[in-house]
Amino acid sequence: MADLRDLLPHSKKDVKFDAKAKLFLVNEVAEMKNCNNCIFLEARKGKDLYMWISRVPDGPSAKFLVENLHTMSELKLTGNCLKGSRPILFFDKQFDESPAFRLLKEMLTQILGSPKGHPKVKPFVDHQFSFFLADNRIWFRNYQLIKSDEKAAGHVDTLVEIGPRFCLNPIRILSGSFGGKTLWQNSAFVTPSRARAALKRPKQETVRSRRKQMKKRKKHTERNFVGEDDLDQVF
């Protein structure tokens, strides 16, 4: 959360939102703070993190599952940039091949792009937000732009990663802000609970087979019980 706010100097945060069942109330909070776009982070079961991005108040909105999240302090990368500077937004060309991802590209551009003339945004461009499409997911990277000496022969500008890095697994796009008709839905999406259950299934089958063998052994022992021998108590 802190890393995301550092990347967006023009953002405004609000206190924790408890009414999970009534997400449309987030629109009222955004309007009170004079915000046109909104990012809402929703944590479930202490393991799963969902992210909503929405155009307030009329939509559209999109829901993602955040995966492979790594903070700046965790990565400890060598890249660095001026806090509050303007970023360059780079999108993979695959975003233009699908109407759904073209819409997501436009929404991410409006939300993560720094507004021109904002008092908290410095008029410098020294880092780049990169969005790549792979495995039907959106991979985010933040790079520092290092300009080479133009007078040197064969000068090449380089990119050094700053962080954070995360992956967005799109779930669905809604026509309204935190509600409305479903414009697009990811048919390949599997909830984290089902994924964890699938990983535990082989262990469950092993336990079931072991219990079945124990019951079978117990029935075999009861069926072939011949009784106690009186000679066992002689000595």
pLDDT at 107: 94
Q: Which two tokens stand for residue 160?
A: 């050094």
Inter-residue contact 87 to 114 (CB < 8 Å): yes
pLDDT at 169: 95
* Per-position pLDDT tens, the chain of length 235: 788 888 888 888 887 776 555 788 888 888 888 888 999 988 888 889 999 999 988 889 999 999 999 888 888 887 788 888 889 999 999 999 999 999 999 999 999 988 888 888 888 888 899 999 999 999 999 998 888 777 766 667 788 888 889 999 999 999 999 889 999 999 989 898 888 888 787 787 788 888 888 888 888 788 877 667 666 666 6
Inter-residue contact 118 to 74 (CB < 8 Å): no
Q: Which two tokens stand for residue 148?
A: 């080479």
pLDDT at 74: 83
Q: How many CA atoms lie within 13 A of 183 on its CB side?
A: 21
**Secondary structure of residue 172 in the 3-state scheme:** strand
pLDDT at 152: 67
Give the span between the Cα atoms of 154 and 140, in whole angstroms: 30
pLDDT at 215: 87
pLDDT at 183: 93
The pair phi, psi for residue 215, each rounded to 5°, is: -65, -40
* Strand boundaries in the chain, DSSP class E: 37-44, 48-55, 61-70, 85-91, 122-134, 137-146, 158-161, 165-176, 179-185
Q: What are the residue ranges of helices labelled H in 97-191?
A: 99-112
